[in-house]
Structure 1
Amino acid sequence: MGLTTMTATPFLSIFRTTHLKYLLSGFCLSMIPLMSAAQTAELPESENRLEALIQQADSGSTIRIGPGTYNVRELLIEKAVTIDGQNSAVLDIGGEGYGLILKGENITLKNFEIKNSGSGFMDDFAAILIEESNNILIQNLTLTNNFFGVFIAKSENVEVTGNTIISNADRQTTSGNGIHMWYSKDVEVHQNEITGHRDGIYLEFVEGGTMTGNRVYSNIRYGLHFMYSDHCSYIDNEFRDNVSGVAVMYTRNVVMQRNLFVQNWGANRYGLLLKEINDSVVENNRFESNSVGIYSEASNRVQIEQNNFTENGTAIRMMANGVDNRIVRNNFFGNVFEVSTNSRSNPNHYEGNYWSQYEGYDLDRDGIGDVEYRPVRLFSLFAERQPLSLIMLRSLMAGLLDTAERIFPVLTPKNLTDPKPSMEPVQ
């Protein structure tokens, strides 16, 4: 039953025909069951009393907001309610402080816009702050021109799905992260569009986070950035044209599957940066037009399998301080350098990859090259130590050096070979 408003005209009509004492007693008795049993409350157009309506609502109620712009600032929601903007309401924070602060259980926000949070690094101002909460759903919102979009702290079972999160900031000091997760568990981030923030998605001390189907592009630092967040997965996401790509650091048991890493081009830009990652999977991803497809440092037991590396500067830059990584059944198409490293030792395993630069043969027609392949070019070692030498990349001398090194390897890692290179792209 919805909350209703009695207008002046019906009230006077009843007053003229009914004794006053019966009118008042009847009116009061009728309002008691109406308020206690309310399941849906309507906030009409242009009435700025959302806070009062939330305070009056019973646990489990739905509050539907009519069209219009409503001023909100640090509106605290502690009870189990659903707030539905019906795809027409706008909550304006006014450039100061937080928007909505959630501290409770079973709260749903959906179908409205929140804009213009405060900004600054002394406080992590956000359109939505979720703190010490459980079973929260943030769905189909548009978050515009906020410092942080959604800030999740010390919470469990939070789902952020189908939202558009946009910032107009032009540098890191004027923007927080699109979706920020800290010290939380079982957070799901699905089907969001995130652009213009410092990091699109950020995780720190998160366990069991799942990110699928997000489109994260043109962010000021990383599209995805997470640290100390074990047992997380990101699947079927698109990370495009973020200044530094994607960074996964100091973490174990991460699953990275079927993502697109594209157009992260420039100095110190990577499709995917792995730093001190252990016991993880990088599988069935596409790395296209990045300065470096995967940069791996001090990472161990990572399975890099069935990925496509296409027209990157360097497909894989594997530092020798990581061990027991397996690079198997990947496709390398038209990369300048297929693999580069910083040592003559190779503690990792390469096998069954397709290399577009492979010039070997397959006499027994079993689909496997009869000659092992050395993917590290001599010139890549020079470029590793002297980046300015890249201006000689297309020179005749660079080609002669690489040819001589393939025939009589002296400087490149002797055991960094693919003993069974695939003659055809791996399906």
Structure 2
Amino acid sequence: MTAGRTIVLAGLAALAVSLAGQAGAAQVEVAAGETALQAAVDSAADGDTLVLGSGEHRGPVVLRKRLILEGRPGAIVRGHGRGSVIVLEAPGAVVRGLTIRGSGSDLAAMDSGVFVAKTARAAVVDRNRIEGNLFGVYLHGAEDAVASGNTIIGLQEGRTNEAGNGVSVWNAPGAKVVDNDISFGRDGIFSITSKRNVFSRNRFTNVRFAVHYMYTNESEISDNVSSGNAIGFALMFSNRLIVRGNVSDHDRDQGLVLNYANGSQVIGNTVLGGLQPAERWARRGQQGDAEHGVPLRDEPSAGDRIGPEKCVFIYNANQNRFRGNWFEGCEIGIHFTAGSEGNEVAGNAFVRNRNQVKYVGTRHLDWSAAGRGNFWSDNPGFDLNGDGIADTAYRPNDLVDKVLWTAPAAKVLTNSPSVQVIRWAQSQFPAILPGGVVDTRPLIAPPPRPDLPRPAR
């Protein structure tokens, strides 16, 4: 079929039409104006591409056919402050290259910049600027849907709990959220009751949790960057996750949280506190770890204490594997509690944390595997035979630490002669040490640290 097709809308100039390909799909140019965009969408045929011209197009709009809604530079779709701005209901529908504004503010109704319904399997939301909406993108049961390359800026006023998330995923098996830049609102990505999802290469700032997982299994969180949020990656009630290559850069409370998260691989992640990003980069340029301007074994000064409180918080999380991670500059490197069992912690670097480990329990845990443990920047051990393993075990906590956790007011006695005698006795008679974490094969040098992202200019 080679004949052209023209669509005329009241009050608008004629819309130029060109057919694309043997399938008969058309490319329809839609000029900006006062007429509702829904009229052009309803007039289009399944498979058509609607190209929105520069300027403002009046929403809201629902795609009930397999259409591509694409914007030229400067194209804006604006809702009227109620409901979602763009709703995708057709399988394979695509929205790309648009600026999208003007959703409603009803949390229960899930008002969004782009709402992808359950029927819109494999729909794509790509390279849009979605700003000032309650939710940015909501993948509501849409299997294999993709949100990629979007800039999502949530609500910047009001209470955080009354805002929506950058991207919400509910029961959308196989959905992917990749290469997005998400800021403001509540959580960057919130996923609940889903599986086989991939959240990768996203960047998060000025949100509560960068990634918030609830009841989402067999999924991947990889190569994301969270900077300056309350918590980086909060993984809860989820099993068999791959958590790899993520960066938590000066998040306030925790970099990584595992709460009832089981059977997961936590590999090659970086959590940073201490110096602010600009200061840290100003001191780069030297070789090795001197790029921080502070030798690895130096203790942080009070002026360097800038989040997070805990690099890692593990609460009742079992059978997880922690390998090749870098945890630096936190008040507590890793807080391990509530009966977490069967976790392997080996090949990680704990660098310049004020307290490397806080373990609440009485069991003896050996954090080494296959003859190799972790690197501890405050370990005074030696390696006389040069095998890369310290000659003595490293124990991050002692009896005095447990007393201080139970009765924080006892900190005033830390430098008293009686406390020093107790610590001397423990060093001379290890049998009186309490149960807890011990690294019997501590590394004498840190593993390579992943490259850090440059701070935003």
Q: Does 1:41 align with 2:62?
A: no
Matches within 5 A, 1:163-202: 163-167=150-154, 168-202=156-190
Q: 1:247 aligns with which of 230, 234, 240?
A: 234
Matches within 5 A, 1:3-402: 3-4=5-6, 37=24, 39-46=26-33, 48-73=35-60, 75-132=61-118, 133-167=120-154, 168-219=156-207, 221-265=208-252, 269-289=253-273, 290-347=308-365, 349-350=367-368, 351-378=372-399, 380-387=401-408, 400=420
Which is worse superposed, 135-144 or 368-377?
A: 368-377
* Deviation readout 1:21-75 (Å, 9 max, x if unpaired): xxxxxxxxxx9x99x95511110132534211111111111000001112212x2
* Deviation readout 1:5-36 (Å, 9 max, x if unpaired): 799xxxxxxxxxxxxxxxxxxxxxxx9x99x9
Q: 1:169 to 1:408 in 2, by over 3 A?
A: farther
| Aligned counterparts of 2:247 and 2:36: Cα–Cα separation in 1 | 44
TM-score between the two structures when normalised by the length of structure 2 = 0.80
Q: How far is the alpha carbon of 1:150 from its aligned partner?
A: 0.7
Q: How many residues align?
A: 396
* Deviation readout 1:240-289 (Å, 9 max, x if unpaired): 12123321011110000110012122xxx211110111110111010111
Which stretches in structure 2 are left out of the alignment for 5+ residues?
A: 10-16, 274-307, 449-457
Q: What is the SS of the residue equivalent to 2:333?
A: strand
Q: How far is the alpha carbon of 1:146 from its aligned partner?
A: 0.7
* Deviation readout 1:380-416 (Å, 9 max, x if unpaired): 43453345666887x5779836565444457864352
Q: 1:175 to 1:246 in 2, by over 3 A?
A: same
Which is worse superposed, 41-50 or 191-200?
A: 41-50
| Aligned counterparts of 1:204 and 1:398: Cα–Cα separation in 2 | 51
Identical counterparts, % of pairs: 24
Q: How far is the alpha carbon of 1:332 from its aligned partner?
A: 1.2
Q: Does 1:416 align with 2:437?
A: yes
Q: Which structure has the greater CA radius of gyration?
A: 1
- The amino acid across from 1:107 in the alignment is A
Q: 2:359–2:437: 8 Å Cα contact kept in structure 1? A: no
TM-score between the two structures when normalised by the length of structure 1 = 0.86
Q: What is the SS of the residue equivalent to 2:438?
A: coil
Which is worse superposed, 342-351 or 248-257?
A: 342-351
Q: 2:71–2:98: 8 Å Cα contact kept in structure 1? A: yes
* Deviation readout 1:269-312 (Å, 9 max, x if unpaired): 21111011111011101011121011001111110111111111
Q: What is the SS of the residue equivalent to 2:261?
A: strand
Q: What is the SS of the residue equivalent to 1:185?
A: coil
* Deviation readout 1:346-376 (Å, 9 max, x if unpaired): 3564352111111111121211111111022
Q: 1:38–1:57: 8 Å Cα contact kept in structure 2? A: no
Q: How far is the alpha carbon of 1:426 from its aligned partner?
A: 1.8
| Aligned counterparts of 2:79 and 2:389: Cα–Cα separation in 1 | 62
| Aligned counterparts of 1:235 and 1:206: Cα–Cα separation in 2 | 17
Q: 1:126–1:147: 8 Å Cα contact kept in structure 2? A: yes
Q: 2:36–2:59: 8 Å Cα contact kept in structure 1? A: no
Q: What is the SS of the residue equivalent to 1:52?
A: helix
| Aligned counterparts of 2:195 and 2:34: Cα–Cα separation in 1 | 41
Which stretches in structure 1 are left out of the alignment for 5+ residues?
A: 8-30
Q: 2:366–2:440: 8 Å Cα contact kept in structure 1? A: no
> Which structure features the higher share of strand residues?
1
| Aligned counterparts of 2:177 and 2:338: Cα–Cα separation in 1 | 34
RMSD of aligned Cα (Å): 2.6
Partner of 2:281: none
